[in-house]
Amino acid sequence: MKTHIRKNDLVQVISGDHRGARGKVMRIDTDRGTVVIEGVNLVFRHVRPTRKNPQGGRVQKEAAIHLSNVLLYDSASGRGKRTRYDVTMNDAGRITAKTRMTVGGTVINVITRPDKSK
């Protein structure tokens, strides 16, 4: 499954119980179409005693959220933005759908290429 976000991206949850929460992407499961976000959708896991954890008990950790419920966070506008993949003049990358800004911050229309016809 193709994804619109990548590991270490800053994303915002747009629906569900954790709507509006922001965090960094820790892990993506493309087979299931889910993403694990740092500090979002925390659940308790009950673990049995082991040598590493002889006490056992409850461990709080992040659970997965479906990819359709997150958007890439744009710090300039302060909200999630839809992205798409664009290819222009031998350059390819993710850009925001409305403003055509790349995720790195450059405007696609302003990119200039040296003339290769000489």
For the chain, the domains span 10-79
CATH number for domain 10-79, candidates 1.20.58.2050, 3.40.50.170, 3.30.460.10, 2.30.30.30: 2.30.30.30
User: Please, how many CA atoms are within 13 Å of residue 98, restricted to the half-sphere of its CB?
Assistant: 5
Q: Report the alpha-carbon distance of residue 118 to residue 116 in Å, rounded.
A: 6
Q: For residue range 68-112, list pLDDT tens digits in order.
A: 999 999 888 888 888 888 777 766 778 888 877 777 655 555 555
Beta-ladder partners of 101: 107
pTM: 0.76
